[in-house]
Amino acid sequence: MRPVLASLSYFSIFFAPFLLPVVVWFVSNDAYVRRHAGKALFSHIFPILAAIPMFYFMFTAQHPASILLYIILFAVIYFGSFLYNIVQGIRVLSNGGWPEPY
């Protein structure tokens, strides 16, 4: 059950990107599940945190090409975060709930 909850925190990028990792993080008392829920929560929040300064610079930019550059940069960050969540969810499921080697 623990790898399913841990991977579901990552896969929630498809249906509840912020809500499910928070609920799992607060409700679960398993350290393994809580750690992965926290990582998933951060990876869901990171693109939004990165977008704040990008939107500021995008709206204060004087050159039209720089606006396009900021939009492309945001898309790359968001797509990278999306792929990270999918890969981590599969990795946690295939690992079977055993801690990763460090």
pLDDT band at 95 (very low <50, low <70, confident <90, very high): confident
Asked if the model's pLDDT at residue 63 lies above 90, the reply is: no
pLDDT in tens, 48-58: 888 888 888 77
- Provide the token pair at 12: 């929630």
Q: Cβ-count burial of 10 within 10 angstroms (0-12 exposed, 13-18 middle, 19+ buried)?
A: buried
